[in-house]
A and B are shown apart, each in its own frame.
Chain A
Amino acid sequence: MSLRSYSRARAVHVMLVYTGGCNGCDIEIVNSIFSPKYDAEQYKLFLTWNPREADVLVVTGPVTKYNEKPLKEIYNAIPEPKAVIAAGACALMGGVYKNINGDIPSEEIMGPVDKVIPVDAKVPGCAVRPEDILSGAVAALPKLLEAK
């Protein structure tokens, strides 16, 4: 393993962008980083709120209309190499908001996430479990490590 990949594996900065949804996934992800029970920092995952610092973008929620442009801008602000994890049923396929409706479908959902930005790892669940987020980050890692 080269020094480049080694250093990338030892410090991964994760940024969370929340684009709608119900808060559930979001709190579970924050929980996986803040709660001493899961403590993502022991797996070298650090939470950041600055796209310039981030390597991995975790996106939750079905991308509502007003979140589409901010999400793209934040994605563009992250320097290469970067990976995107779509977490939760809403981020994967629009969730209940896009797929279930009575007489009138919802017009506000612009997602799922891979319509807006390229996605590298998908974490299913409604809501995602903290353990799954950690394994999702591991799944996105090869892309980071192998990039030039």
Chain B
Amino acid sequence: MEASTIIYSLAAVVGTIIVAFIVSIWLPGIERKFIQARIQQRIGPPISSPGLMAPLKFFFKETINPNSALPQLYNALPLVAIITIFFIFLFLIPEMYFLGALTSIIAIVGLLKIEEVIYVFMGSFSRSIMSLSMPFPDLAKGAKYPNLTRSFLEDLSSLRAFRLIAFGSFPLYIALFVPVARVGSIFLMDIVSYQQLQGPILFSAAGVLGAIVYFMGYLILLNEYPFAILKTKADVIEGPYMEYAAKYRSYVYLSRGFLMFTLAALFSVLFLGIPPNILSWGILINIIVALLFPILGAFMSAFSPIFTFKQFYPVVAALSILGVLAIITTFL
């Protein structure tokens, strides 16, 4: 490879990532202001506030030691999440397709799994003041069951995160394999080149079904509102994020926005055949998809209550069946 090509592709990679970051910090604000606030008939926050100004503000706050069994590891987890998402995004950029096996669906599934496992760790390390350690005489004379194991609220959300790994992310992973089944290859390079020749997979029966399943899986992975049992205000307050303060909380905020953009980029690679690349006009499609997904998600979350597992299981089962149907359709 010549030096100019290397510089050229390096510029493409760095530029794409910077654009992704810039777009992703506006996504929470757009969701909050233009969709939810409009539905709720109020003015709503400025679009820069939830995604950009809030993380920036937390960055300038005092760093505290979290109440945690392993404070340093707990604080490191959002960074691990950001790095994981960064790698997913990196492998989507066409300049990186020479990496071979790393730019396959299998690698992406593995990285997304790390993203989910992090919630389990976060939940089990967090020891917030808001539940058990609140100074209150619980075990007074006459209290029920004084000898039980007493657990924190975060343990509950850790348990839930564990369950979500087991079944919650099923729809997303099935949807990832719809293009694989159509193209007959797990490599992103093949999926992209197939679609550039044959037209996007989205415009076929299997593609439409797959896209629906992918979108719902996206909401589940992001813990958006109907599926936010991990961090619902009704019982676990903020769940795994309870103890993050100052700059670590701003990493949590940033990782969420970046994950939104990355999953949308993954969609446009798999179903539209347009990888994120700053040097082609295709990036505009990426940005449009990245905007469209949170907007549709905001509609969903504004009009639905929180799902408990009783609603969660049938929804996930139905979506998984739909996903399997989509894969079968690709062979017809």
Contact = CB atoms under 8 A, between A and B. Distances in A.
Interface of A: 3-4, 6-8, 10-11, 13, 36, 39, 41-42, 44, 46, 49-53, 55, 66, 69-70, 73-74, 77, 79-81
Interface residues of B, number: 40
B163 interface: no
A36 B237 contact: no
A11 B43 CA distance: 15
B247 to A, nearest CB: 10
Contact of A81 (B40, B42, B62): B62
Contacts of B56: 3, 7, 11
A8 B130 contact: no
A8 B45 CA distance: 14
Q: In terms of DSSP, what is the predominant structure of the interface of chain B? A: loop
A83 to B, nearest CB: 13
Interface string B52-74: 01101101111110100000000
B246 interface: yes
Contact of A41 (B42, B245, B246): B42
Interface of B: 32, 37, 40-46, 48-50, 53-54, 56-57, 59-64, 66, 128-130, 133-136, 233, 237-238, 241-246, 249
B61 A81 contact: yes
Contact of B245 (A3, A7, A10, A79): A79
Contacts of A46: 45, 49-50, 54
B53 A10 contact: yes
27 contacts: A7-B53, A7-B59, A8-B57, A11-B53, A11-B54, A11-B56, A13-B54, A36-B40, A36-B42, A39-B37, A39-B42, A41-B43, A42-B45, A44-B53, A46-B45, A46-B49, A46-B50, A51-B130, A52-B243, A53-B238, A70-B135, A74-B129, A77-B129, A79-B63, A79-B64, A79-B246, A80-B62
Contacts of B40: 36
A69 B238 CA distance: 22
Nearest to A49: B237
A69 B43 CA distance: 38
Contacts of B233: 49
B102 to A, nearest CB: 36
Given A11-B49, A52-B244, A73 B129 contact: yes
Given A13-B54, A51-B129, A55-B57, 11 more contacts: A7-B60, A10-B53, A36-B40, A46-B50, A49-B233, A49-B237, A50-B238, A51-B130, A77-B129, A79-B245, A81-B61
A136 B49 CA distance: 20
A42 B135 contact: no
